[in-house]
Amino acid sequence: MKKVCIVGTGQTEVGEHWDKSILHLAHKAVTSALLDAQVESVDALFVGNMLSGALSGQENLAAAVADFSGLRNIEAVKTEAACASGAAALRMGYTAVASGLHDRVLVLGVEKMTNTLGHDTTAALGMAADAVYETFQGVSFTALNAMMMQRYMWQYDVPDTGLAGFSINAHRNGCHNPHAMFRHAITEDDYGRSRVISSPLCVLDSSPICDGAAAVVLCAVGSSSLPDSSRHVAPVTILGSAAATDTLAVHDRSDPLRLAAVELSTQQALAQAGADLGNVDFLELHDAFSILGAMSLEAVGYAEPGTGWRYAMDGYIDIEGDLPVSTQGGLKSRGHPVGATGVYQAVEAVKQLQGLAGPNQVANAGLGMIQNIGGSGASVFTHILGI
Amino acid sequence: MFVPSSWRTRHQRYSLIGEVCPACDKHIFPPRDVCPHCDQPAGPAHKFNGTGVVFSYTTLFQPPAGFESQAPYVVALVQLDEGPMLTAQLTDVEAEEVKIGMKVEMVPRKLMEDGPQGQVHYCYKFRPLWAKTAQAEVPV
């Protein structure tokens, strides 16, 4: 297999882009990434997206993006793995280049979630869960996470604001990310007063409904297609790429508080990279809800079951902590345009590894892990990036 | 839900019809083609007795489309006494009375309707087990 590096990145600000269609958002990220890489063409385009059909009435999205962005005639395909669609596209792009099939590809993650009213968007997000035996019961995607949170807090005796640390950390870091949707800090008091969406889960446990697009250009190391730009800034290499699945429905798991696919994909990605957890300098985890932050720390292997929440309370996950998490605001503060999130994580990891993360720079960042979860743990993609 | 899908799944939704795996004897709900416990072909139909306990629950204040008029309502992960866990609404109980570990039983109820001209969908819901006991104790 060929080594694959990231030679250019692009991203839009995450937010409610009422004036932009899904194609305009995509185009903005595509052109930024191509400009950053100083290339004009790629062999193929892989688009991560979950809801273009449901919320924009547009399928055949990859061809639409290629057409709209001046990349007509190249291979282009959309990948869908619910909220992990972005990382699924990254892995598609990675395998295409690593296999030698393509030399240089573009990976885009894009989501437009504000075309519809709130309850319609909520219903569309529910499609990540089992259509008949979860969603049809009137269960929102938020409610599934709320039930995991309720059980977790009961089983491990977590105080009412015990999970607040994940959102506080995310907002603190998001303050300094010019692409983040929420650039304000929050306190434990704010969290305690936050409106309940689905008990016990409140607004400040939850990532927002938003729009955004991010893109990366991948290239084979040593290839003649490697752009000139990579001679100036050391390109970031994808050292590990792994994917795993779990039961679609939360209720079908022998332990609904265990993210088995996170465990598996983490172990596989680390093995491929020849690294262990001690080598990881920062972690972009899938904090769509604060409970997923706690459960991810446990499944990745940093925390024992039932103790992940404590790590967010004592500075462990701060930028200066032992394991910086959500360093550019994570899903909670940067925002979670679902199918775009996995590619935002890759863009942010590249900035960290190149020392371009500004006030949120992790000191001596040499190895980063990014993890994207689709559904309530059903599809998980883990990538390890290094310089 | 689409009408054919609703029709196809009527037995499991109205009567909690699942399966018993002929290879490992585990109870399965909903019915599948492959046993999730031993990966062998799933077995003959089994009607669940419908009792279980609440594993976890939540009260929804922001419902998905189709359920707006019902909010707030309670949904739960119910661990059936015969093995499998399922996701269902709770009924005949106030939200603040629901507890993890509470014993519940299945009742078929109206779930939602596809607009004024659309299909009315029925499904299992769960209510506190004492409701059945209390009814049985009412003198005739």
All structural domains of chain A, each given as residue ranges with its CATH number in brackets, are 4-116+209-231 (3.40.47.10)
Chain-centroid distance of CA B105 in Å reads 9
Nearest CB neighbour to B100, from listed A122, A151, A198: A151
The reply to whether residue B75 touches residue A200, judged by beta carbons under 8 angstroms, is no
For residues B67-93, average pLDDT: 97
For the cut 80, the answer to whether the pLDDT of residue B137 exceeds it is: no
Q: In angstroms, rounded to a whole number, what is the distance separating the alpha carbons of residues A197 and A179?
A: 26
* Minimal C-alpha gap between B77 and chain A (Å): 7
Q: What is the pLDDT of residue B132?
A: 56
Q: Are A337 and A14 in contact (CB under 8 A)?
A: yes
User: Is residue B42 located within the same domain as residue B61?
Assistant: no
Q: What is the pLDDT of residue A231?
A: 60
Contacts of A146 in chain B (CB under 8 A): 58
Q: What is the pLDDT of residue A277?
A: 98
Q: What is the pLDDT of residue B116?
A: 85
C-alpha to C-alpha distances, A191 to A53, A161, A295, nearest whole angstrom: 35, 7, 19
Q: What is the pLDDT of residue A235?
A: 87
User: Is residue B40 located within the same domain as residue B107?
Assistant: no
Q: What is the pLDDT of residue A125?
A: 94
For the cut 90, the answer to whether the pLDDT of residue A300 exceeds it is: yes
User: Is residue B83 located within the same domain as residue B44?
Assistant: no
Q: Are A352 and A236 in contact (CB under 8 A)?
A: no
Nearest CB neighbour to B87, from listed A150, A197, A249: A249
Q: What is the pLDDT of residue A223?
A: 84
Which are the catalytic amino acids of A?
Answer: 83, 336
Contacts of A154 in chain B (CB under 8 A): 56, 100
Amino acid at A253: R
User: Is residue B65 located within the same domain as residue B132?
Assistant: yes
For residues B16-25, average pLDDT: 96
For the cut 60, the answer to whether the pLDDT of residue B33 exceeds it is: yes
* Minimal C-alpha gap between B47 and chain A (Å): 17
**ω into residue B4 within 30 of 0, thus cis?**
no
User: Is residue B28 located within the same domain as residue B54?
Assistant: no
Contacts of A116 in chain B (CB under 8 A): none
* Closest by Cα among A87, A97, A110, A141 to A12: A110
User: Is residue B75 located within the same domain as residue B115?
Assistant: yes
Q: What is the pLDDT of residue A226?
A: 83
Q: Which residues contact A344 (CB under 8 A, 6 or more apart)?
A: A11, A14, A86, A109, A179, A212, A214, A334, A337
Question: Is residue B38 classed as helix, strand or coil in its secondary structure?
Answer: coil
Contacts of B5 in chain A (CB under 8 A): 131-132
Question: Comparing A291 with A225, which gets the higher pLDDT?
Answer: A291
For the cut 80, the answer to whether the pLDDT of residue B134 exceeds it is: no
For residues A36-51, average pLDDT: 97
Amino acid at A368: G
For the cut 80, the answer to whether the pLDDT of residue B131 exceeds it is: no
Nearest CB neighbour to A123, from listed B30, B66, B76: B66
Average pLDDT in chain A = 96
Q: Of the given ranges (A219-233, A278-292, A334-348), which has the lowest mean pLDDT?
A: A219-233
Q: What is the pLDDT of residue A144?
A: 97
The reply to whether residue A198 touches residue B30, judged by beta carbons under 8 angstroms, is no
For residues B41-57, average pLDDT: 96
Torsional sign, CA A73, A74, A75, A79: negative
- Which residue on chain A is closest to B88 by alpha carbon? A137
Domain that holds residue B102: 50-140
For residues B30-43, average pLDDT: 94
Kindly indicate the confidence band of residue A273, based on its pLDDT and cuts at 50, 70 and 90: very high
In this structure, the strands spanning B103-113 and B51-60 are: antiparallel
- Which residue on chain A is closest to B67 by alpha carbon? A138
Split into its structural domains, chain B has a count of 2
User: Is residue B66 located within the same domain as residue B31?
Assistant: no
For the cut 80, the answer to whether the pLDDT of residue B56 exceeds it is: yes
For residues B82-100, average pLDDT: 97
Between vectors from CA A364 to CA A359 and to CA A365, what angle results, nearest 5°? 80
In this structure, the strands spanning A367-374 and B27-28 are: unpaired
Kindly indicate the confidence band of residue A358, based on its pLDDT and cuts at 50, 70 and 90: very high
Q: Which tokens is A43 given? A: 């062999």
For residues B89-96, average pLDDT: 97
Question: Comparing A271 with B140, which gets the higher pLDDT?
Answer: A271
Kindly indicate the confidence band of residue B96, based on its pLDDT and cuts at 50, 70 and 90: very high
Q: Which of B6, B16, B60, B74 to mutate to test the interface with A (most CBs of A within 10 A)?
A: B60
For the cut 60, the answer to whether the pLDDT of residue B135 exceeds it is: no
Phi, psi of A24 (to 5 degrees): -65, -40
Kindly indicate the confidence band of residue B115, based on its pLDDT and cuts at 50, 70 and 90: confident
For residues A314-333, average pLDDT: 97
A118 touches chain B (CB under 8 A): yes
User: Is residue B7 located within the same domain as residue B58?
Assistant: no
Chain A and chain B share a number of CB contacts under 8 A equal to 112
What is the dihedral angle through the alpha carbons of A261, A263, A266, A269, rounded to the nearest 10 degrees?
-70
Kindly indicate the confidence band of residue A129, based on its pLDDT and cuts at 50, 70 and 90: very high
Alpha helix positions (H), A38-84: 52-56, 61-68
Contacts of B85 in chain A (CB under 8 A): 251-252, 256
User: Is residue B18 located within the same domain as residue B76?
Assistant: no
User: Is residue B96 located within the same domain as residue B122?
Assistant: yes
A147 touches chain B (CB under 8 A): yes
Alpha helix positions (H), B16-129: none
Q: Which residues contact A233 (CB under 8 A, 6 or more apart)?
A: A354
**Which residues of B have a CB under 8 Å from any CB of A?**
1, 5, 9, 30, 36, 55-68, 70, 73, 75-77, 84-89, 95, 100, 111-112, 121, 123
Average pLDDT in chain B = 92
For the cut 90, the answer to whether the pLDDT of residue B57 exceeds it is: yes
Kindly indicate the confidence band of residue A222, based on its pLDDT and cuts at 50, 70 and 90: confident
- Which residue on chain A is closest to B16 by alpha carbon? A133
Q: Are A293 and A312 in contact (CB under 8 A)?
A: yes
Contacts of B55 in chain A (CB under 8 A): 151, 256
For the cut 70, the answer to whether the pLDDT of residue B140 exceeds it is: no
For residues A72-78, average pLDDT: 97
Q: What is the pLDDT of residue B139?
A: 53
For the cut 60, the answer to whether the pLDDT of residue A132 exceeds it is: yes
Kindly indicate the confidence band of residue B1, based on its pLDDT and cuts at 50, 70 and 90: confident
- CATH number for the domain including B78? 2.40.50
User: Is residue B77 located within the same domain as residue B138?
Assistant: yes
pTM of the model: 0.96
Q: Which tokens is B15 given? A: 């009567």
The reply to whether residue A140 touches residue B121, judged by beta carbons under 8 angstroms, is no
Q: Are A32 and A7 in contact (CB under 8 A)?
A: no
* Closest by Cα among A3, A1, A8 to A346: A8
Q: Of the given ranges (A74-83, A251-260, B65-74), which has the lowest mean pLDDT?
A: B65-74
Terminal-residue alpha carbon distance, chain B: 41
For the cut 70, the answer to whether the pLDDT of residue A232 exceeds it is: no
A284 touches chain B (CB under 8 A): no
User: Is residue B28 located within the same domain as residue B58?
Assistant: no
